[in-house]
Structure 1
């Protein structure tokens, strides 16, 4: 679901908005400009647009929807993954990509999305990475093995999800405090 949201919202708020929209009837008439650009089966409600897609094409189509939502400055909620994509706040690296082991790829993810995605690691989603191609990356796998690469690959074990989320937040905002808080090995 994509819609205009004046301020960043939580997953709980986005989920509630989605469930409320699902209780209403679609509107008919001319499609808004954004709806014309979206892939998949598009259904327009009062101020929201729902995009229905085949599971086989979900990863590719979701990426297209996220990109269009970002370009139009609107929020996007993915009910399959229970994730919300807000317009802001963003990290400092333009073009930074969020990758997950279950196929999600988002360019210029908002910081809330990065935090929420980290909580979804599981055997079905075995890693999360923030990548600045050609420069550096940070990634983590279940058990919280944290890896960072700039000049060479280093790794450490982190005990808590909160610390992983903090490290990813710092990385995305250009801070490097996580490098000094842990013992790293090559």
Structure 2
């Protein structure tokens, strides 16, 4: 099994669920149904991508792979899209470069493992937080549904997430013993710039955590969950 990413051009911001449908059709070879359009940006992206990470040239069945290549099979490429299957062992290093390269070329990059669509700067909103999960890729200007799913994916192995607006302004969540709590508990911290504005609360319900994250992402002026915030200063 490989870790896959897909890149294509969108003229306007689309939802994650639209991206899921596009990706599934691309995997089926249905470019017309996917609605993707040919773009010079896709060609330029593919050219720069394979300069960094060469395409496979040996028969994939013989188990040989160029040292510089993270791919598990040849890329699925057209003038409108690129699907990249990479090894899980190389994904931590390669996937962030792919997302950044797609953004630099003005293309979206879809992560089907987490159902997350990474938008280029031109399609990002204003004021939305970045999402950095314990496991997975950082998402700039994360959509509310992406944040909610990240909360519900928190586990013993994937135990924290951070929502950040800018340096010193963040909300972070830690789950269970890794966060210094009993199994099942959630430690939530938020900081509004200065060290003396750093607070912490402990929650027992995942839905409460999801609500606090939604409040933070929306820029709400008050918390929807009635909880006690203790100063960490």
For Structure 1 versus Structure 2, the TM-score category normalised by the shorter chain is 0.7 to 0.9
Equivalent position to 1:100, from 115, 129, 133: 133
8 A contact 1:91–1:173 mirrored in 2: no
Shift, 1:159, TM fit: 5.4
Equivalent position to 1:177, from 203, 207, 222: 222
8 A contact 2:211–2:224 mirrored in 1: no
Larger displacement relative to structure 2 (43-52 or 154-163): 154-163
Check if 1:35 corresponds to 2:46: yes
Check if 1:9 corresponds to 2:15: yes
Shift, 1:129, TM fit: 0.5
Match of 1:145 in 2: 187
Match of 1:69 in 2: 102
Equivalent position to 1:80, from 108, 113, 117: 113
| Structure 1 residues 60 and 131: alpha-carbon distance in aligned structure 2, compared to 1, 3 A threshold | farther
8 A contact 2:212–2:225 mirrored in 1: no
8 A contact 2:172–2:189 mirrored in 1: yes
- What are structure 1's unaligned runs of at least 5 residues? none
Shift, 1:80, TM fit: 2.5
What count of residue pairs does the alignment treat as equivalent?
A: 179
* TM-score when normalising by structure 2: 0.61
| Structure 1 residues 78 and 156: alpha-carbon distance in aligned structure 2, compared to 1, 3 A threshold | same
SS of 2:188's partner is: strand
Q: How does 1:87-166 map onto structure 2 within 5 Å?
A: 87=120, 88-90=123-125, 92=127, 97-106=130-139, 108-112=140-144, 113-131=146-164, 134-142=167-175, 143-150=185-192, 151-152=195-196, 153-158=198-203, 160-166=205-211
| Structure 1 residues 163 and 45: alpha-carbon distance in aligned structure 2, compared to 1, 3 A threshold | farther
Q: Distance in 2 between matches of 1:18 and 1:168?
A: 28
Q: Distance in 1 between matches of 2:80 and 2:108?
A: 12
| Structure 1 residues 86 and 59: alpha-carbon distance in aligned structure 2, compared to 1, 3 A threshold | same
* TM-score when normalising by structure 1: 0.74
Shift, 1:170, TM fit: 4.1
Shift, 1:135, TM fit: 1.7
Shift, 1:70, TM fit: 2.7
